[in-house]
Amino acid sequence: MILYHTSDREIVNPDIHYGRKNDDFGWGFYLTPDKDFTYRWARENAVVNVYELDEEDLDIHTFKRDTEWFRYIFGNRRVKDTLASDVIIGPIANDTLFDTYGIITSGYLNDKDALRLLMIGPQYTQVAIKTEKAVSKLCFIKSEKIQRIDPVQLKKEQEDFRDKFAGELNSILD
């Protein structure tokens, strides 16, 4: 599996203990097989690192954009990672994740309606490398400096997304 990680530098030896413990899939080294999405993460002077993952003998858990995925992310946001897999693959929660989960914990939305909100927008895939065993099967291929995607285009996409989200939320609350 070819995977991409965007950073401000080349990362030949990934560290699964670097970063936030409360990411979507908990502590780990995050990549994506979606090359287009990789370039969306790019900031000025970004570096895209390319790897190949040998999946043989790894415990891999794959999520769909559904209730199981929603519950797992919800737990991880509270630093309650409950999976012991080497690798976790699944959708990236959309940009409203914190807002959506904040609304849920405030009692304004039930899980079904919150999941409706999380279904808005495109679906991109993330791969979290969770164990040293999985890191040992991740082979660095190359890195390349890239230019950032047009910020005007991204801003328009974000505005369209927010409009869809607000419309769906209003529909739920009416």
137-148, pLDDT tens digit by residue? 999 999 999 876
Which pLDDT score is estimated for 100?
Answer: 64
pLDDT at 78 exceeding the cut of 80 = no
Quick check: helix, strand or coil at residue 46?
strand
- For residue 65, the 8-state DSSP code is S
pLDDT at 96 exceeding the cut of 60 = no
pLDDT at 131 exceeding the cut of 80 = yes
Q: What is the pTM of this model?
A: 0.81
pLDDT at 98 exceeding the cut of 70 = no
- Domain residue limits, the chain: 2-173
With CA atoms as reference, report the closest residue to 65 among 118, 104, 112. 118
Beta strands per DSSP E along the chain: 2-7, 29-31, 46-53, 60-62, 87-91, 125-129, 138-146
Across residues 83-103, what is the average pLDDT?
76
Across residues 110-131, what is the average pLDDT?
83
Which pLDDT score is estimated for 104?
Answer: 64
Quick check: helix, strand or coil at residue 84?
coil
Which pLDDT score is estimated for 164?
Answer: 83
Beta bridge partners of 94: none
Report d(CA 23, CA 4) in Å as an integer: 17
With CA atoms as reference, report the closest residue to 12 among 61, 64, 49, 62. 49
Across residues 82-101, what is the average pLDDT?
77
pLDDT, greater one: 83 or 31 = 31
Each residue's pLDDT tens digit, 43-53: 778 899 999 99
Quick check: helix, strand or coil at residue 91?
strand
Which pLDDT score is estimated for 108?
Answer: 72
Which pLDDT score is estimated for 81?
Answer: 64
Which pLDDT score is estimated for 165?
Answer: 79
Which pLDDT score is estimated for 49?
Answer: 96
pLDDT at 95 exceeding the cut of 60 = no
Beta bridge partners of 75: none
